[in-house]
Structure 1
Amino acid sequence: MPPDYESAIREAVPMPVDVEVTADSPRLGPDTLTWKYYGDVRGLLGFQRLAGTENCIEQLGKAVEDHSVIFSDTLGRARRSGPPIMKTVYAEDPHHWGRTVRDFHKPIKGTISDGSRYHALNPELFYWAHATFVDQVLYVTDTFIRRLTHEEKAQIFEEGRTWYQIYGVSDRSQPQTYEEFVEYWDRMLGRFVANPTIGYATGYLRKGVPGPRWLPRPMWRVLSAPINGFLRTVVVGTLPPQMREVCGLDWNPKKEKRFQRFAAFSRRINPIVNRLPLRALYLPWAYDAWRRVGVDPRPLMNAPTATPVR
């Protein structure tokens, strides 16, 4: 993180980087850990961590509030924004999709509570949004699939640098090593603030999942109890403590112990899960990509080569 980060994030100056895309332009492929784990269906366990950490930064939370339909069409927004980002990893033409994602953000600008400006293509904001996806691969894999070694975490970070190049935005605030990324992540957690976007997006974790209008509320309270119990243990368990605090989400040592038991069980059954049909194990865009390159990823990179770092 540059020493003038506070002023840099308030510049509100878009900084796209347009370079000629060739057959040799950097891209991710089936030999990467990101291909192996990003499209795994277990990544859905980290959906709230991904979306929440991104929007706990005030500028990004305000950008969503000002320019998104999250308050009126939450699921629709997720369906529209998720696939293009996934295609920056798995599509045959990832640079096209990277530029598509980038250019979608060109008109997204405004001001935050202190009157300072923001722009979605400001490098500090755009990189933070990308960092939450790198974190998702690291966190979900290490928590729910298998423990990663320090070398593997560093590899995923390096692959994340290649991934970021695909968008074509200045990398001036990008950490240069995995160790710098960890420090950067911890500092950004300290910038989390409550805002309407993140409060609305996590309302179901505080109030419970809303039921269908045609179902009597007493009946839904009974039927939804196990769903809400799972969400308040597993989904809330994935969130950094700083996010739980700004979102007003209850947590205690008893819940933490339950969450860790669930995570350990998920890792133990990884060899069984990896025997599922490919279509059941991967999201559609990742499944199509593995089929396209003619590689079965299930036997690949399932065991660490060194002692994992907890």
Structure 2
Amino acid sequence: MTELADPRPQADALPLGRDSLVWKYFGDNRMYLIGPRPAVLQNMLAELGQGVLDHSVFFSDTAARVKRSIPPIMMTVYGEPDSGEGTRVRDFHRDIKGDMTLPDGTGVRYHALDPNTYFWAHATFVEQVLYFADTFVTRLTEREKEQIYAESKTWYRRYGVSDRPMPADYAAFQRYWEHMMDDVLVAHPTAKYGVGYVTKGFPRPKGVSPLAWRLIAPLFDPVAAFLTTGGLPPRARELLDLPWSRRQERAYRVFAAAWRSRPVNWVWDRLPMTVRYNTFAQAGYARG
């Protein structure tokens, strides 16, 4: 279940770097507009959601889990190709394994480094880049989508995990994605917990006083619910039983179109790098 692979670039992929579209979009600070889309979709794969349920601090300290997970993934993309950041991410998952019961009642063993499970986690990040750019920055051409996918193959191989489940091209990736959404994903308790605030309100963050949160929450909660629910595929909303009306859908489309508009992009592109990109992307671009 833990097949390893050579992390070196291969001929069927495109490189990462300052000219790549993955670099251009993955570390863009507007990414917050999509909400927790990749994390929620990851946890809707039963094996992955169970691994989080059994081994992660996600339930006791969600912020700490996010804070610990994001930097090494960002460094896999924006770090030096031979830095070993990807294989370090892989090795964090060596002991994430156990027994579980699938939705159909079948008992199985799971392991985070099972190639199918590990690739699904990566696929949600690839789709995150595609969805974010196409929804909130500019409508992508088919050639740009192909380019992003080809660059993502280099990214995935840096983890040193078997690329056996990785689709050969963007068209095959689309078919894979539709199959996962329609036939594989479930409303795993981990995913349901992760979006519980949509209907129950966001829990008070550590370090924020109860009084301050009582003042902030009435403003924060509706925005968080709007970005989270709107940022999920319709099939995921259906499985997770998240409320979403036609009126909200129209509002979300107007909201996205405003961000994609030429004036907003013109202003954004002229802001300092420290505003537009996270620190990992800034370091990558500074290095060249």
Q: In the alignment, is the contact (CA less than 8 A) between 1:40 and 1:283 conserved in 2?
A: yes
1-side partners of 2:200 and 2:139: how far apart? 33
Q: Is 1:195 paired with 2:188?
A: yes
Q: In terms of mean alpha carbon deviation, does 148-157 or 108-117 score higher?
A: 108-117
2-side partners of 1:39 and 1:292: how far apart? 15
Q: Is 1:291 paired with 2:283?
A: no
**How is 1:147-186 mapped onto 2 (pairs within 5 angstroms)?**
147-186=139-178
2-side partners of 1:20 and 1:287: how far apart? 24
Q: Which residue of 2 aligns with 1:10?
A: none
2-side partners of 1:32 and 1:93: how far apart? 14
Q: Which amino acid aligns with 2:219?
A: P
Q: Is 1:72 paired with 2:67?
A: no
Q: Is 1:282 paired with 2:282?
A: no
Q: Which residue of 2 aligns with 1:138?
A: 130
Q: Which residue of 2 aligns with 1:296?
A: none
2-side partners of 1:48 and 1:216: how far apart? 24
Q: In the alignment, is the contact (CA less than 8 A) between 2:5 and 2:163 conserved in 1?
A: no
Superposed displacement of residue 47, structure 1: 4.2
Superposed displacement of residue 108, structure 1: 1.0
The DSSP-based 3-state class of the residue aligned with 1:246 is helix
Q: Which residue of 2 aligns with 1:215?
A: 211
1-side partners of 2:277 and 2:63: how far apart? 20
Q: Which amino acid aligns with 2:97?
A: K
Q: Which amino acid aligns with 2:123?
A: A
Match of 2:20 among 18, 32, 43: 32
Q: In the alignment, is the contact (CA less than 8 A) between 2:35 and 2:227 conserved in 1?
A: no
Residues 47 and 105 of structure 1: CA distance in aligned 2, closer, same or farther (over 3 Å) = farther
Residues 18 and 176 of structure 1: CA distance in aligned 2, closer, same or farther (over 3 Å) = closer
**How is 1:197-276 mapped onto 2 (pairs within 5 angstroms)?**
197-211=190-204, 212=208, 214-215=210-211, 220=214, 223-268=216-261, 269-276=264-271
Using the aligned pairs only, state the percent identity.
44
Q: Which residue of 2 aligns with 1:297?
A: none
User: What is the total number of aligned residue pairs between the two structures?
Assistant: 275
Q: Which amino acid aligns with 2:147?
A: Q
Superposed displacement of residue 210, structure 1: 2.8
Superposed displacement of residue 248, structure 1: 2.1
TM-score by length of 1: 0.84
Residues 210 and 108 of structure 1: CA distance in aligned 2, closer, same or farther (over 3 Å) = closer
2-side partners of 1:273 and 1:204: how far apart? 30
Superposed displacement of residue 184, structure 1: 0.5
Superposed displacement of residue 133, structure 1: 0.6
2-side partners of 1:203 and 1:105: how far apart? 26
2-side partners of 1:120 and 1:99: how far apart? 14
RMSD (Å), alpha carbons: 1.9
Q: In the alignment, is the contact (CA less than 8 A) between 1:233 and 1:258 conserved in 2?
A: no
Q: Which amino acid aligns with 1:56?
A: M
The DSSP-based 3-state class of the residue aligned with 2:110 is strand
Q: Which amino acid aligns with 2:138?
A: R
